[in-house]
């Protein structure tokens, strides 16, 4: 029943062969040397400082939701960097390949990449950015913040949480591996059939794409289960639904999408896998297959997926804007319902990605109007943020800058989205760079929100702030770079420039394309200052130290414990009395963090099992990509055995006695029993002096 | 740089009206200033107006689509710009570093505002939805009402087959076929039937007609009419593999007489197109310079034959050599 | 340490769903309780069961996608045998009976669990296991027959989806049997600890869910 393959296959190493390693391509060899060097520096550093045990004990085997969140974010950041390199490669190819006369290098007809290689770059860029950069970062943020915001000790299932992390990491690792061993999919991040069927994608690229996404999406689904259960089951006393912070609400909405949409993707990829491995006919053009079935199923997931990403970003804005406006969020109830409506409606609009497929007018009209309806709750959100700013007292610290930037991006992306939603317009701009510009406005909104969230919650997690001056510089470089890259793209869309072009036949487009390339240069500058900001802030971390309430005007529960947050989160679970509990306590003058008495704390124990499962899944993915059947069978058996063995381990928790908690609270991170609300630490006053006079005296 | 004057003379609303194809297009006049503003904005970032192909429709369908775009953009800008201004104003006025704003630390609810922010977008969507609904019928690829109204005389029929990675145009009535060149008479309804021998593509001639997918194993349709003779760029707008960027063709819209002469000329072409000949030409090929080819005596039923074969499982496999380490 | 052994009698659906968050509403003027010193633990079993319900929902979405595929491809015979030629409702009906008896047996297992009877539970599981295995045997027989006649999934869209949908259900059944086997060992070694009890509860949900899916398969595919 196995399909006939082009090229050799041996039982021992499957399709793998030495010539699958592109050692003759200088770009890839360079990337390989860079990666190996980075890994060597890291490993050397750990060895030199003798930190392997620390790494193992505190990170690799941890089940602490904050550390898992941090690792999610780190994975996401590395992949964000990789995605950016891809973006730079795309733009460089396009700027070099304009006009029939343009030169070719490294064996390419134009530019420096032949089409098949170029196609892999943007396919990897799209898949990485959406699934292995932004998704892990957002999941990581939710992991860190949601339990804190609802006053929980940990996630509902700490062990499962670690499994989710490692599965996501395996997906990312497979994508990275595809760069050096074999190739990646060349069929766009959407992988439409029949292009991804075996006859038209005979190599292993599409298989890498399938298994990387498949494995990591299992992780995402597990994460969704975990977050929903956490929100439903682990809230502190008094944290009733109508008091839930809006970020937690959006996490809820997002994970409802995740829980229901990702399985559809899993099923779709599974059927495509059967086509490619067993020669079935689900999505082939002939033999009773149906290529549109794939398109439908993919977008049934794909559209909710983009809202899966944007909702937490909305949640982040809903946290940052009130804090820096020194006011409660305007229209809490409307915000909550808008999130849930967006999540629900995201299921009913998928066909707008292929209006041009030739469905009947009524079908197109329905999906057009349904799509536009999503603009209404989104608009409500925009207006509510705006009215949060009304009669506010706004400070423009770095997080607020990112939030405001995101708000404007949403307006631009929304405007163009509403144009795409009209079939008669979409017929002209579908698959053009106008679409690229539309969704980069939207995904940059998410990126902005992420950058804002990181600078906002960084002091909570690490106990010191990131340098503000450099942070603002990064922001402005991002703004200018994004304008330079994506505004010309709208114009090029009107000029009829298609997306995914390896070679650009119109010499007259060159000036705009050059402009975009300059934008990429500015992103590099931004990246430089970003790295510098992190370096400077870590170096001078004493100077940047922050108390529990790092921004002085915060409102929700996570600011009510020490910074950095102790591994048990709250020494004693707080009782919640108001929607913005921390703001409420500050108003009442109840800012002491010291409870009347301490109690025993139950904590889950560290375990290496999730890491082992991850390693085995990696072997499984690798075996399946290269069709090394023995390796696949072996690793899947091992996975089952590990799962069973683990289920016999009933000794998974431990208790910290109350006295010990008290001791840690007194001398550990929380040296100060009370917070320093209202009293600016001396070294923070400099930048704030101008408006300090206008503040009311907090108790 | 083209002088701005030229840009204004060729402004979209004007050219749309000059077609006179559709009474509805007069709406364009209302939106004309805004359309110009949009164009100017594009000009600020662009260079040559000639390249803004979407703003130079040369047929009723493309014109209607442009018209739709202007309506939608103007309505949306009518709400987006005020919103942006509102936000900007708040940011300015209520910044902490001035004492001008009247700070109200607890104000977070207003039923009036809630009602307004839900209902205004709803009304806007209702208007846009109406236009969208109308537009869907006007440019419906199977039966575009903007052309149907005008169509007199028999249409020219063209069967389009996308291969990896060329375009084959068959004129079934004339028994001729071309590769990567489409020649049609202006002012005549052109009726396309489209399918693909390999993977999905999207058939697109920006100045004349919007896109329609070209899919293996099934036919789609498109109709169009050209109002100005000339040469227009057509291409595939959907990724179809390594040769995708080169999958372009010239569309030459000529007068009836020239078209008839061209057909007669081609009918003498020495190369014939039979089913086996098709199998030869449909093998994966990147036609780097889009060099046209011409065929006569096209075996009748070729279009249906290709669909049937694909349905029976025929594929034009991409050889590994075209992918490995390219 | 050890988590408190739970009382089996409490395990009715009510308590599972409404472990309830105590809503403490204290006006600021009253003596305000700021920290929760009542030392309550979140009910581990109900949290676990809730998570499993969520998992079942995601599994249902996978099957929904497969059924969609079935609806689209069901008449795409491409010259290969049609549904009418390969599907035997009578045979499938007997399979249905097996699935239901297995679920019934597992239901009896759960009442034995309420009584805290180890032997009852183990016997119940063994019976459901055997019936489930018989079902899989019938399925194996059916498909090996098809394959030996050369009616393989790669011959048509319909056959592809037919195999996929029935065998995905079958795979779930295999997984359930494996789970049962593990549970028998765990009960023998650990007794009714929290962990064992929540796993049995989840297994019950899982097993019943497979019956529901089978009913869908039976009505959509076989009838
Ligand atoms: C979340 C999604 C996301 C994000 C954030 C981006 C970000 C960017 N994208 Fe991408 N893009 C996609 C999703 C995304 N993209 C998708 C889905 C496609 C379609 C693919 C397809 O066709 O199939 C696409 C396609 C795409 C194209 C192809 C156009 C074409 O088809 O012709 C281009 C070309 O310019 C492009 C450019 C960029 C650029 C310049 C950025 C910039 O904004 C990037 C800015 C990022 C940085 C500057 C990195 C900063 C790094 C850090 C902060 C990390 C620091 C960490 C350490 C130091 C450890 N994108
Ligand atoms: C996070 C990501 C994100 C978000 C939030 C959105 C939001 C929206 N998107 Fe976008 N979209 C993508 C990511 C996203 N999109 C991606 C990745 C693709 C391409 C995939 C690919 O092909 O590779 C895409 C493609 C895409 C298409 C298909 C284009 C094509 O391929 O031809 C369409 C068509 O309808 C569309 C529409 C919309 C609409 C109407 C919204 C709306 O939700 C926007 C709503 C927002 C507003 C409207 C602004 C704020 C509102 C107001 C100020 C109030 C006033 C508003 C009204 C009166 C309505 N998008
Ligand atoms: Cu054919 Cu869609
Ligand atoms: Cu969408």
Q: Which residues pair with A116 in a beta bridge?
A: none
List C-alpha distances in Å: A653 to A148, A158, A454, B186, C7: 20, 11, 31, 80, 21
Round to the nearest angstrom and report the end-to-end CA distance of chain A. Answer: 75
Alpha carbon distance A628, B142 (integer Å): 49
Q: What is the pLDDT of residue A482?
A: 96
A513 Cβ partners below 8 Å, 6+ apart? A91, A94, A95, A98, A488, A492, A504
| SS3 (DSSP) at A336 | helix
Chain B contact probe: residue of A358, A363, A413, A490 with most B CBs at under 10 A: A358
Report ipTM (2 d.p.).
0.90
Alpha carbon distance B99, A549 (integer Å): 25
Is residue A285 in a domain? no
Please tell me which of the candidates B45, B99, B141 has its beta carbon nearest to residue A358: B141
Asked whether the predicted pLDDT for residue B31 surpasses 70, the reply is: no
- How many CB atoms are closer than 10 A to CB B300? 12
| SS3 (DSSP) at B161 | strand
Residue owning the nearest CA to atom 60 of ligand 1: A87
| Residues of chain C positioned with their CB less than 8 A from the CB of B311 | 78
**Strands B181-185 and B156-162, sheet pairing:** unpaired
Of A495-509, A538-552, B20-34, B87-101, least confident by mean pLDDT is B20-34
| SS3 (DSSP) at B201 | strand
Q: For A490, what's the count of Cα atoms within 13 Å in the CB-facing half-sphere?
A: 23
Residue A84 and residue A523 in contact, taking contact as beta carbons nearer than 8 Å: yes
Nearest chain B residue to A376 by CA distance is: B121
**Of A542-556, A659-673, A675-689, B205-219, where does the model show the most confidence?**
B205-219
Residue C122 and residue C110 in contact, taking contact as beta carbons nearer than 8 Å: no
Q: What is the pLDDT of residue B5?
A: 28
Q: What is the pLDDT of residue A466?
A: 95
Of A382-386, B11-15, B108-112, C83-87, least confident by mean pLDDT is B11-15
Rounding to the nearest 10 degrees, give the CA dihedral for residues B116, B118, B123, B126.
180
Residue C127 and residue C104 in contact, taking contact as beta carbons nearer than 8 Å: no
Q: Do A575 and C26 touch (CB under 8 A)?
A: yes
Nearest residue to C95 (alpha-carbon basis) of C159, C182, C166, C24: C166
A78-113 per-position pLDDT tens digit: 999 999 999 999 999 999 999 888 888 888 889 999
Nearest residue to B222 (alpha-carbon basis) of B190, B182, B187: B190
Please tell me which of the candidates B64, B198, B246 has its beta carbon nearest to residue A503: B246
A332-345 and B111-138 helices, crossing angle to 10°: 20
Sign, CA dihedral A189-A192-A196-A200, equals negative
Q: Which residues pair with A14 in a beta bridge?
A: A10
Of A133-142, A539-548, B13-22, C4-13, least confident by mean pLDDT is C4-13
Does the CB of C37 have a partner CB in chain A at under 8 Å? yes
Alpha carbon distance A199, A276 (integer Å): 9
Residue A347 and residue A304 in contact, taking contact as beta carbons nearer than 8 Å: yes
- Locate all alpha helices (DSSP H) within chain B, ordered by sequence: 4-9, 12-19, 27-45, 60-93, 111-138, 145-148, 256-267, 275-281, 302-311
Torsions phi, psi of B171, nearest 5? -105, 95
Nearest chain A residue to C147 by CA distance is: A1
A292 touches ligand 3 (CB under 6 Å): yes
A132-191 per-position pLDDT tens digit: 999 999 999 999 999 999 999 889 999 999 999 999 999 999 999 998 888 899 999 999
Of A1-10, A328-337, A525-534, C210-219, least confident by mean pLDDT is A1-10
| Residues of chain A positioned with their CB less than 8 A from the CB of B104 | 327, 391
**CATH fold of the domain at C44-222:** 1.20.120
Nearest chain C residue to B312 by CA distance is: C78
Tally of domains in chain A: 2
Alpha carbon distance B7, B43 (integer Å): 9
List C-alpha distances in Å: A115 to A101, A609, B164: 17, 42, 14
Residue A569 and residue A559 in contact, taking contact as beta carbons nearer than 8 Å: no
Nearest chain B residue to C80 by CA distance is: B312
Nearest residue to A146 (alpha-carbon basis) of A12, A247, A283: A247
Asked whether the predicted pLDDT for residue A1 surpasses 70, the reply is: no
* Closest approach of B308 to chain A, Cα-based (Å): 9
Q: Residue A192's domain is classified under what CATH number?
A: 1.20.210.10
Arithmetic mean of pLDDT, C153-157: 93
Give the Å distance between the CA of A261 and the centre of ligand 4: 13
| Residues of chain A positioned with their CB less than 8 A from the CB of B66 | 428
A430-457 per-position pLDDT tens digit: 999 999 999 999 999 999 999 999 999 9
List C-alpha distances in Å: C191 to C4, C196, C200: 13, 7, 12
Considering A211, A229, A244, which residue would you say is the last residue of a domain? A244
Residue owning the nearest CA to atom 36 of ligand 2: A417
Phi-psi bin for C185: left (phi > 0), alpha (psi -120 to 50), beta? alpha
- How many CB atoms are closer than 10 A to CB A340? 17
Place B211 in a pLDDT band, splitting at 50, 70 and 90.
very high
Q: For A515-542, give one letter per residue: b (16+ CB within 10 A) or e.
A: bbbebbebbeebbebbeebeebbeeeee
Alpha carbon distance B215, A637 (integer Å): 41
Alpha carbon distance A103, A111 (integer Å): 6
For the record, the structure tokens of B163 come out as: 């291969």
Does the CB of B3 have a partner CB in chain C at under 8 Å? no
Place A548 in a pLDDT band, splitting at 50, 70 and 90.
confident
Arithmetic mean of pLDDT, B122-131: 96
**Burial category of C14 from C-beta neighbours within 10 Å (exposed 0-12, middle 13-18, buried 19 and up):** exposed
Round to the nearest angstrom and report the end-to-end CA distance of chain C. Answer: 55
Residue C159 and residue C165 in contact, taking contact as beta carbons nearer than 8 Å: no
**Owning domain of residue A104:** 1-244
Asked whether the predicted pLDDT for residue A694 surpasses 60, the reply is: no
Residue C35 and residue A595 in contact, taking contact as beta carbons nearer than 8 Å: yes
* Cis ω before B260 (30° cut-off from 0): no
Ligand 3 closest atom vs CA A292 = 2
C102-122 per-position pLDDT tens digit: 999 999 999 999 998 899 999
Q: What is the pLDDT of residue C39?
A: 59
Does the CB of C50 have a partner CB in chain A at under 8 Å? yes
A243 Cβ partners below 8 Å, 6+ apart? A576, A578, A579, A581
> Maximum Cα–Cα distance for chain A, whole Å?
79
Q: What is the pLDDT of residue C37?
A: 75
Asked whether the predicted pLDDT for residue A390 surpasses 50, the reply is: yes
Report chain A's mean pLDDT, rounded to a whole number.
Answer: 90
| Residues of chain B positioned with their CB less than 8 A from the CB of A379 | 79, 117, 121
Arithmetic mean of pLDDT, A281-304: 94
Indicate the helix (H) or strand (E) that contains B223: strand B220-224
| Residues of chain C positioned with their CB less than 8 A from the CB of B313 | 78
Alpha carbon distance A468, A536 (integer Å): 11
B-facing residues of A in 428-457 (CB < 8 A) are 428-432
**Strands B156-162 and B190-196, sheet pairing:** parallel
- Ordered DSSP codes for B282-309: TSS---TT---EEEBSPPTTHHHHHHHH
Residue B154 and residue B139 in contact, taking contact as beta carbons nearer than 8 Å: no
A-facing residues of B in 74-103 (CB < 8 A) are 76-77, 79-80, 83-84, 86-87, 90-91, 94-97, 99, 101-103
B281-322 per-position pLDDT tens digit: 999 999 998 999 999 999 999 999 999 999 999 999 998 877
Residue A563 and residue A463 in contact, taking contact as beta carbons nearer than 8 Å: yes
| Residues of chain C positioned with their CB less than 8 A from the CB of A266 | 62
Give the Å distance between the CA of A140 and the centre of ligand 1: 20
Q: What is the pLDDT of residue B38?
A: 53
Provide, rounded to the nearest whole percent, the portion of chain B with pLDDT above 90: 67
Alpha carbon distance B25, C184 (integer Å): 76
Name the neighbours of C, counting chains with at least 3 Cβ pairs within 8 A: A, B
* Cis ω before B265 (30° cut-off from 0): no
C44-73 and C157-190 helices, crossing angle to 10°: 160
Sign, CA dihedral B121-B122-B127-B131, equals positive
List C-alpha distances in Å: A236 to A572, A581, A624, A655: 10, 12, 44, 20
Place B120 in a pLDDT band, splitting at 50, 70 and 90.
very high
Give the Å distance between the CA of A131 and the centre of ligand 3: 27
Q: Do A233 and C42 touch (CB under 8 A)?
A: yes
Alpha carbon distance A582, A228 (integer Å): 23
List C-alpha distances in Å: A160 to A238, A382, A396, A604, B92: 27, 36, 39, 12, 47
Does the CB of A574 have a partner CB in chain C at under 8 Å? yes
Give the Å distance between the CA of A190 and the centre of ligand 1: 15
Asked whether the predicted pLDDT for residue C21 surpasses 70, the reply is: no
**Burial category of C134 from C-beta neighbours within 10 Å (exposed 0-12, middle 13-18, buried 19 and up):** middle
Q: What is the pLDDT of residue A684?
A: 36
Considering A244, A266, A297, which residue would you say is the last residue of a domain? A244
Domain edges within chain C: 8-39, 44-222
The C-alpha angle B175, B180, B182, rounded to 5 degrees, equals: 60
Nearest chain A residue to C54 by CA distance is: A225
| Residues of chain B positioned with their CB less than 8 A from the CB of C78 | 311-313
Q: Which residues line ligand 1 (CB under 6 A)?
A: A 77-78, 80-81, 84, 87, 90-91, 122-123, 125-126, 129-130, 134, 188-189, 433, 436, 440, 443-444, 447, 485, 499-501, 520, 523, 526-527, 530-531
Q: What is the pLDDT of residue B56?
A: 85
List C-alpha distances in Å: A557 to A248, A577, A669, B133: 11, 11, 18, 48
The C-alpha angle C86, C88, C90, rounded to 5 degrees, equals: 175
List C-alpha distances in Å: C161 to A180, A184, A291, C190: 36, 28, 14, 42
* Closest approach of C167 to chain A, Cα-based (Å): 13
Indicate the pTM of the whole model.
0.91
Is residue A334 in a domain? no
Provide, rounded to the nearest whole percent, the portion of chain A with pLDDT above 70: 95
Nearest residue to A437 (alpha-carbon basis) of A516, A347, A527: A516
Is residue A627 in a domain? no
Nearest chain C residue to B309 by CA distance is: C78
- Ordered DSSP codes for A498-538: BSS-SSB--GGGHHHHHHHHHHHHHHHHHHHHHHHHHHHHH
- How many CB atoms are closer than 10 A to CB A607? 18
Arithmetic mean of pLDDT, A641-652: 90
C-facing residues of B in 293-322 (CB < 8 A) are 311-313
Q: Do A515 and B242 touch (CB under 8 A)?
A: no
Chain-centre distance for alpha carbon A571: 30
């Amino acid at each position: 029943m196995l399909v006939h393959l082009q090229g050799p296959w041996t039982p021992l190493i499957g399709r793998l062969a030495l010539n699958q390693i592109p050692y003759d391509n200088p770009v890839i060899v360079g990337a390989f040397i860079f990666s190996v060097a980075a890994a060597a520096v890291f490993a050397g550093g750990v060895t030199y400082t003798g930190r392997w045990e620390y790494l193992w004990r505190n990170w690799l085997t941890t089940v602490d939701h904050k550390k898992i969140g941090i690792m999610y974010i780190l994975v996401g950041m590395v992949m964000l960097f990789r995605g950016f390199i891809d973006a730079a490669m795309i733009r460089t190819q396009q700027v070099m390949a304009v006009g029939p006369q343009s030169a070719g290098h490294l064996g390419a007809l134009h530019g420096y990449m032949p089409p098949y290689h170029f196609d892999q770059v943007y396919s990897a860029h799209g898949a990485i950015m959406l699934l292995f950069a932004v998704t892990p970062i957002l999941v990581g943020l939710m992991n860190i913040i949601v339990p804190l915001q609802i006053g929980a000790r940990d996630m509902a299932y700490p062990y499962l949480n670690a499994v989710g992390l490692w599965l996501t990491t395996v997906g990312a690792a497979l994508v990275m591996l595809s760069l050096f061993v074999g190739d990646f999919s060349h069929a766009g991040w959407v992988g439409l059939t029949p292009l991804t069927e075996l006859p038209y994608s005979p190599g292993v690229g599409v298989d890498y794409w399938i298994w990387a996404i498949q494995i990591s999406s299992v992780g995402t689904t597990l994460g969704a289960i975990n977050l929903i259960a956490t929100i439903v089951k682990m809230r502190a006393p008094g944290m009733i639904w109508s008091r839930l912070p809006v970020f937690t609400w959006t996490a809820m909405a997002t994970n409802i999408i995740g829980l229901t949409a990702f399985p559809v993707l899993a099923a779709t990829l599974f059927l495509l896998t059967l086509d490619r491995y067993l020669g079935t006919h689900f999505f082939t053009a002939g033999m009773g297959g149906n290529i549109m079935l794939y398109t439908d199923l993919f977008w049934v997931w794909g559209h909710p997926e983009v809202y899966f990403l944007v909702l937490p970003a909305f949640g982040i804005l809903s946290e940052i804007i009130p804090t820096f406006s020194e006011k409660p969020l305007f229209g809490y109830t409307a915000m909550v319902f808008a999130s849930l409506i967006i999540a629900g409606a995201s299921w009913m609009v998928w066909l707008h990605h292929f209006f041009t497929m030739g469905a009947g007018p009524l079908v197109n009209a329905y999906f057009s109007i349904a799509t536009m309806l999503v603009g209404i709750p989104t608009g409500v959100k925009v207006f509510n943020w705006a009215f949060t700013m009304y009669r506010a007292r706004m400070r423009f610290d770095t997080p607020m800058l990112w939030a405001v930037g995101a708000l404007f991006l949403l307006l631009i992306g929304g405007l163009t989205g509403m144009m795409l939603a009209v079939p008669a317009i979409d017929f002209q701009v579908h698959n053009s760079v106008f679409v690229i510009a539309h969704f980069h406005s939207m995904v940059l909104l998410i990126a902005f929100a992420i950058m804002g969230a990181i600078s906002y919650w960084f002091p909570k997690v690490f106990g010191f702030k990131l340098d503000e001056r450099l942070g603002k510089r990064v922001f402005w470089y991002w703004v200018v770079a994004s304008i330079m890259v994506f505004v010309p793209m709208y114009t090029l869309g009107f000029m009829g420039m298609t997306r995914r072009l390896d070679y650009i036949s119109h010499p007259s487009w060159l000036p705009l394309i050059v402009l975009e390339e300059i934008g990429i240069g500015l992103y590099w500058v931004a990246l430089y200052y970003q790295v510098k900001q992190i370096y400077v802030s870590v170096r001078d971390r004493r100077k940047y130290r922050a108390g529990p309430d790092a921004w002085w005007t915060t409102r929700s529960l996570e600011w009510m414990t020490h910074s950095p947050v102790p591994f048990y989160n709250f020494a004693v679970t707080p009782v919640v009395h108001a929607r913005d509990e921390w703001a409420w306590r500050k108003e009442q003058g109840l800012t002491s963090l010291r409870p009347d008495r301490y109690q025993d704390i139950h904590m889950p124990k560290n375990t290496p099992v999730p890491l082992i499962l991850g390693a085995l899944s990696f072997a499984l993915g690798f075996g399946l990509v290269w069709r090394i059947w023995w390796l696949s069978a072996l690793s899947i058996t091992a996975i089952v055995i590990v799962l069973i063995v683990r289920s016999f381990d009933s000794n998974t928790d431990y208790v910290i006695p109350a006295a010990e908690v008290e001791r840690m609270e007194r001398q550990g991170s929380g040296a100060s029993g009370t917070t320093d609300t209202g009293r600016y630490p001396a070294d923070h006053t400099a930048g704030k002096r101008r408006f300090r006079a206008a503040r009311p005296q907090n108790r | 740089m083209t002088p701005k004057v030229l840009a204004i003379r060729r402004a979209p609303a004007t050219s749309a009206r000059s077609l006179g194809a559709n009474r509805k297009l007069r709406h364009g006049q209302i939106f004309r200033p805004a359309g110009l503003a949009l164009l100017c904005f594009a000009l600020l970032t662009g260079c040559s107006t000639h390249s803004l192909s979407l703003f130079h429709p040369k047929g009723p369908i493309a014109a209607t689509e442009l018209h739709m775009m202007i309506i939608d953009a103007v309505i949306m800008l009518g709400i987006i710009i005020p919103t942006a201004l509102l936000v900007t104003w708040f940011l300015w006025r209520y910044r902490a570093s001035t004492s001008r704003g009247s700070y109200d630390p607890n104000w977070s609810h207003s039923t009036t505002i809630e009602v307004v922010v839900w209902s205004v977008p709803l009304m806007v969507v209702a208007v846009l939805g109406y236009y969208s609904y109308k537009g869907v019928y006007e440019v419906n690829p199977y039966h575009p009402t903007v052309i149907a109204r005008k169509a007199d005389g028999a249409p020219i029929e063209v069967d389009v087959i996308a291969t990896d990675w060329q375009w084959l145009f068959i004129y079934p009535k004339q028994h001729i076929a071309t590769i990567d060149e489409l020649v049609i008479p202006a002012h005549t309804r052109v009726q396309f039937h489209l399918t693909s021998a390999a993977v999905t593509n999207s058939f697109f001639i920006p100045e004349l007609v919007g896109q329609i997918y070209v899919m293996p194993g099934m036919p789609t349709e498109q109709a169009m009419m050209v109002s100005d003779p000339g040469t227009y760029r057509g291409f595939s707008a959907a990724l179809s593999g390594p040769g995708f960027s080169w999958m372009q063709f010239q569309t030459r819209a000529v007068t009836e007489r020239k078209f008839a002469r061209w057909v007669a000329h081609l009918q003498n072409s020495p190369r014939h197109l039979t089913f086996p000949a098709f199998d030869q030409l449909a093998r994966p090929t990147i036609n780097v310079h889009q060099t046209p080819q011409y065929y006569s005596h096209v075996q009748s039923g070729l279009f249906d034959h290709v669909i049937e074969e694909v349905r029976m499982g025929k594929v034009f496999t991409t050889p590994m050599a075209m992918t490995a380490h390219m | 340490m050890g988590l408190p052994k739970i009382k089996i009698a409490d395990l009715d659906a009510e308590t599972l769903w409404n472990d309830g968050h105590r809503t403490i509403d204290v006006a600021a003027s009253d003596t305000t309780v700021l920290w929760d010193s009542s030392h309550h633990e979140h009910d581990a079993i109900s949290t676990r069961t809730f998570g499993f319900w969520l998992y079942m929902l995601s599994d249902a979405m996978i099957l929904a996608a497969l059924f969609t595929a079935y609806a689209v491809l069901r008449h795409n015979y491409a010259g290969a045998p049609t549904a009418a030629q390969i599907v035997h409702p009578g045979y499938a009906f007997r399979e249905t009976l097996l699935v239901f008896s297995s679920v019934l047996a597992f239901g009896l297992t759960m009442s034995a669990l309420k009584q805290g009877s180890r032997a009852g539970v183990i016997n119940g599981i063994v019976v459901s296991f055997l019936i489930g295995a018989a079902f899989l045997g019938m399925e194996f027989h059916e498909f090996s027959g098809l394959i030996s006649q050369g009616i393989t999934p790669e011959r048509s869209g319909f056959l592809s989806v037919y195999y996929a949908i029935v065998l995905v259900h079958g795979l779930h059944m295999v997984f359930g049997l494996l789970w049962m086997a593990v549970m028998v060992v765990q009960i023998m070694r650990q007794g009714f600890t929290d962990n064992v009890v929540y796993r049995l509860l989840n297994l019950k949900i899982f097993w019943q869910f497979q019956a529901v899916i089978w009913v869908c398969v039976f009505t959509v595919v076989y009838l």
